[in-house]
Every structure is written in C-alpha cells, then in structure tokens.
Amino acid sequence: MNGSPLRRIGTGWLLVLPFLALVVALFLGPIVNILWLSVTDPEPGLGNYAALVTSDNLVGILWTTIRICVITTAFSVIFGYSIAYAMVHVAQGSRNQMLSLLLVSFWISVLVRTFSWLMLLGRKGLVNETLVNIGIIAEPIEFMRNELGVLIGMVHYMIPYAVLPLLAVMQNIDGRVLSASRSLGATGQQTFWRVYLPLTRPGLVAASLLVFILSLGFYVTPAILGGGKVLMVAEYISVQILVTLRWGTAAMLAALMLFGVLALLFLMSRFMKLSTIFGGAKA
Amino acid sequence: MIDGAVSGGLRLKALTKRFGSFTAAESVNLDIRRGEFLTLLGPSGSGKTTLLMMIAGFLDITEGDILLDGMSIAGMPPEKRNFGMVFQGYALFPHMSVRQNIAYPLDVRKRPKAEIEARVDEMLDLVQLQDFGHRLPGQLSGGQQQRVALARALCFAPPVLLLDEPLGALDKKLRVEVQDQLKDIHRRVGTTFIYVTHDQEEALSMSDRIVIMQKGRIEQVGTPEELYQKPRTRFAASFLGKSNFLTKDGALYALRPEKIDIAPKGAGQGPNRVSGTVRAMTYFGSVLKYDVTVPGMDEIEVDADAWRGGAPLAAGAEVDLSWSDAAAVRLERD
Ligand SMILES: Nc1ncnc2c1ncn2[C@@H]1O[C@H](COP(=O)(O)OP(=O)(O)OP(=O)(O)O)[C@@H](O)[C@H]1O
Ligand SMILES: [Mg+2]
C-alpha cells in the first residue's frame, strides 16, 4: 500500500531479476562470445574485418545478400500492401477468413514451402511439364536454381510478415479523412497518393524493416532454390562453421550483420519514433 | 461577400434511404434556398447524417432525386459535386500543415501556386488563424481545428457547405463563441449552409430556417420563430423548447411554460384559469421554474420572470395559473 514508488520499482526488478539474468546469460553471453571470436580467431587483431576490403569473394557475397534482400523487401511490401488494403476493405467475414489464411501460412515450415516451389517451378515441375507438354515452350524455363528462384521463394515467405504491420496501420485510418478528401474535390487516385499512402507510411517503414532484417538471415530458401549458385551471407557463415572451420570469419560476418541491423534501426529512429512503427499506432 | 456565390439552391425530391429493410430517411421533400443557413435538427438516429451524406454523395439514394439549381446531381460522385463539408471530428489531414490542409482543395484542382497562396492567406484571415499556418493539426486546440476544417471546406468557394455537428466536440463556452464566428462567416461568404445539430439552442440562435426531423421524416420546417411559436406537432413542440400539453374539446394544445402567469390563489385573472399546488420551485437566476400539480391534469411547468414576477412562491403554496387564448397553440397531430 504505502512505500515510495522507488521502493516499488525495486521490488518489481527483484521479480524479473531471475529472467533478466537468464536473458543476459543465454542471449547477450553468446553475442559477446561471437564478438570476441571475431577479433581473436585465428589470431588477435582485426584481420577478419580486413578481409572485407581485401577479399573479392566476401564482397561479392555481401553484395548478393543486400541486392536480394532489397528486391525481396520491395516486392514483399508491394504485395503485402495490396493484400492488407484488400483485407481492410472487404466485409468483416471475408477479412477474418483472409486473416486465418495468413496465419496458417506462418505455421507452415519454411522447408515445406521451399520444396513446394521446387515441385511447382523446377525443371520437371508442374508448370514446366505442362508448358512443354502442350507445346508452348520447347525447353523448361529456368525458374529455380538461380537468383529468380531465390527471390520467388523469399518473397512468398515474407509477404505475411509485410501484411501484419500494414494491416495494423490501415485499420487505424479514420475513414472520414478519406471522405473529406473526396468531398474537397480529390479523385480516388489523388486521395490515395496524397492522403492514404502518407498515412500508411509508418506501416510501410515497419514492414520494410521487418522484411529486410528477416531476409538478411535467410538460409534454407537460398540454399535450396539457389541450387548452390546464389550464396548469401547466412549460408556462407554456416559453411565457414561446418566445413572450412574458419570460425573467426563466421563470427566477423555475424557481428557485421548484427551491427548492420542495429545501424539500420538507429537510422530509422532518427526519422521516426520506432515505437510508433512497431506499435502500429497513428503517426 | 468574399465569393459572391452564384448558385447553391438545392431541392430534395421524395428523397428516401433504406438500409436493408430499415428506412433511415423517408420521402424527404425540401427546398433549400440559395445562401440560407438551414439547420437539420433532430434526436440521435433521426436521419440527419444520412440526409447530409446523400446530399454530399457519399450515400446512394434509394429513391427520389436531388437537384442543384434545377439539375439532378443524384449519382454524381462526391468530388464532382463541389460541396464543402465539415465532418464530425473535423477529419483534418494529420500529416499536412494547416496551410497544406486549407490548400488541398485547390491543389487537387491544379490551380496556380500564387493563386493558392493568396487564397490560403485569405482563408486564414477569415478564420483568424494567421499565425498557425505552419502547425500540424495535432498541435491545435479543438476550436482551432474546427476553424481549419471550416477554412478548408470554404477554400474552393463551394456553392453549398455541409456541416455535420461541427461543434459537437467543443465545450459549452467555446461553442457559443464559435457559433457567433460561424454565423459571421456565413454572412460574409454567402454560401448555402446546411447544418446538422441535435442542440436546439444552437439551431434557434443560428438558423434562417430549421428542419425538425424524427425517425427519418421531416416533422416541421420553418424559421426559428415560426417553429417556436407555432409548433404543429407534439414532437416539434417538445423538441424545440419546453412545452405543456393540454386537451380541450378533444384537441391537443401546446402551452409554453413562460406564457403562463402564476399568482397566489384568488389573485389569478384571464380567460383560461386553473388552480393547483406548487410541488417544487427551482431557481435559475433569471427564471423561476415551478412544477404545479393541478387536479385532473398533467403536472404543469411554469417559468416566471424572477425579477418582475414578484416574490417567489414556496413549495406547497396554493396558486392560480392563467394564460391568454393566443398562448395555447392548437396542434395538428400528436
Ligand atoms: N450504414 C448503415 N447501415 C444500417 N443502418 C444505418 C446505417 N447508417 C445509419 N443507419 C441508421 O439510420 C438511422 C439514422 O442514422 P443517422 O446517422 O442519419 O442519424 P443522425 O440523425 O445523424 O444521428 P446522430 O445525431 O446520432 O448523429 C439510425 O437508426 C442508424 O442506425
Ligand atoms: Mg449524425
């Protein structure tokens, strides 16, 4: 009952302390360990990081990763935007159905989804077989085992992640503001570009960040759909750890990704409040 | 006048709106004169917003027609109608500054920059927000936001301005202030105002004419004075002001509380007189309100002038109530 607020905060901390300790030990601990590895293995110093400028191979991999992530983000967010828009504007019943479908796709393992694409678009997949059999094409189209395949798989996997933050923002938009725009003489298109799109910007930023960051760590999809020809950072790291045993390089790349993501978040936070982005609240 | 509106006469012909089997507006016939301040007054759910949204073009018409200066505008999309609209809750664009908000209707019409700037300045003057042009709506008080919404809706000189309870979110004192400003702006721009409210005082003090609505139908139309002095139905009499109801010779009469004289028993005079007992007296400063029980009648409410009406009568006092023949208005229907 009585007792200063400070005292109460103190008790609160006591309650969460065990979990806090657990998080620090199990989460921050390994991260520190990796940072440590990246500057000590195979020998102390910044040699691992120097490879970033000296090794063409590494630069190529990073470039591929960033390119694929950017393209994936762009397409996922565009598709996600249309889906979220449709979900907000259909009747309540259909919206619930669409939402369940969206959530179901979260539960299907990435492995299953990736292999379904192989069966659908592979050289002997459904689409190519059909097209060849009815004679529209002579040779199977190379959908898979290249960057296109990786992109198809990744965009497909990421769309639900783009939809959710966009949906949250769109549901919060006051319909009267859009009516106001119409009553002031703006056509539907003008209303979309000048009012609707700017109002959904926090959702766009959140969706882009989310998809981009998740894409950076993608492993299974590029490995399978890229057919070994498209090497992204995550796969490269695993090769370093499991095959070539250059743990220092792997740790360096992991650290690089970590700092890259943090830097991205920091940059974004300079432009808008992160809490409004992730809270999905009004701008 | 700033704009010298050249049009703005509206005619609603048997306008009907049904939502499924529910009729929200039923066969509304109304002539709205160019430049007038017309108020739609009615309780919640009486169809005021529905009517306004049909005029604005946001709701399809089930039956009937809307004519603007003689031409049908039914089926025309809202952005083509060129009607200004002030929404309940203002609906300002939160991501645009006050200036950008006001400039919006001209922007989307692709008018030249210089013209827009000049017009926005003029509008800021009109609503007295000269120093607030660069703020975002979120940084304004409710009353200021209301004025931005008004300036934005008037910026493109619409022939008709539709206002849906624009003062609903303001506190009492501010409301009265903004009412005066609104009235003044109406005089200056000469636009037809169609104003929705469920506040009877607001309707009485601002309107050229009032439309009393109930259950999707028009109950009565007239100037504030006509409606107050000559209500035609029980609903009109009780919704606009207060009223006692009497039956005499099988007809129903409305009798305003302030038109009844109250005097100690035996002192009453006049053609219509009844005797009763004061059940309660309430003091309102300028007015004393008496609730008087009269045998064989409903309780009668009397408003007496506190200054000229003599000494207050206490609860329990035996009194005479009297009124002139003209004071009781015969109603057409219940
Ligand atoms: N889209 C709709 N679907 C079904 N019924 C509706 C719809 N819009 C309005 N109504 C009904 O029509 C009637 C009139 O509504 P309207 O909004 O016009 O009332 P109002 O007079 O503006 O009330 P208020 O003063 O509360 O704003 C109400 O009973 C309402 O429930
Ligand atoms: Mg309403």
CB contact (8 A) between residue B108 and residue A180: no
Q: How far apart are CA B30 and CA A144, in angstroms?
A: 68
Is residue A31 assigned to a domain?
no
pLDDT at residue A63 tops 50: yes
pLDDT surpasses 90 at B70: no
Q: pLDDT tens digits for B271-312?
A: 888 999 999 999 998 899 999 999 988 899 999 998 887 788
Return the residue of B nearest to A189 by Cα.
B108
Q: Which of residues 105-134 of B touch A (CB under 8 A)?
A: 105, 107-109
CB B40 within 8 A of CB B195: yes
Q: Which residues of B touch A184 (CB under 8 A)?
A: 79, 84-85, 104-105, 108, 152-153, 156
The tally of CA atoms less than 13 A away on the side-chain side of residue A182 is 16
Q: Does B9 touch chain A (CB under 8 A)?
A: no
Q: For domain B10-234, say whether CATH 3.40.50.300 is its number.
A: yes
Residues with CB under 6 A from ligand 1: B 19, 22, 24, 42, 44-50, 198
- Tell me, rounded to whole angstroms, the distance of Cα B218 from its chain centroid: 14
Q: Kindly tell me if the per-residue pLDDT of B115 is higher than 90.
A: yes
Residue-number span of the structural domain to which A251 is assigned? 48-277
Share of chain B above pLDDT 70, in %: 97
How does the average pLDDT of chain A come out, rounded?
88
Query: For residue A175, what is the nearest residue in chain B, using CA coordinates?
Result: B91
The ligand 1 atom nearest the CA atom of B22: 5
Domain extents in chain B: 10-234, 245-324
Flag whether residue B153 sits within 8 Å of chain A, measured between CB atoms: yes
A184: nearest CA in chain B? B105
Nearest to A182 among B79, B107, B152 (CB): B79
H or E element at residue B211: strand B209-214
B189 vs B125: CA distance, rounded Å? 13
Minimum-distance ligand to the CA of B26? 1
Which pLDDT tens digit goes with each residue over B169-203?
A: 788 888 888 888 899 999 998 899 999 998 898 99
| Domain at A182, CATH number | 1.10.3720.10
Gap between the Cα atoms of B197 and B37, Å rounded = 13
A242, pLDDT greater than 80: yes
Q: What is the 3-state secondary structure (H, E, C) of B96-160?
A: CCHHHHHHHHHHCCCCCHHHHHHHHHHHHHHCCCHHHCCCCHHHCCHHHHHHHHHHHHHCCCCCE
* Position A18 in a domain: no
Q: How many whole angstroms separate alpha carbon A236 and alpha carbon A249?
A: 10
Mean pLDDT for chain B overall: 90
CATH class of B245-324: mainly beta
Q: What is the pLDDT of residues B201-257, one digit of tens each?
A: 899 999 999 999 999 999 999 999 999 999 999 999 999 989 999 988 888 999 999
Give me the interface pTM, i.e. the ipTM.
0.81
Instruction: Say how many domains are in chain A.
Output: 1
Q: Which residues surround ligand 2, an ion (CB under 5 A)?
A: B 49
Average pLDDT over residues B4-29: 86
Q: Contact A185/B156, CB-based, under 8 Å? A: yes
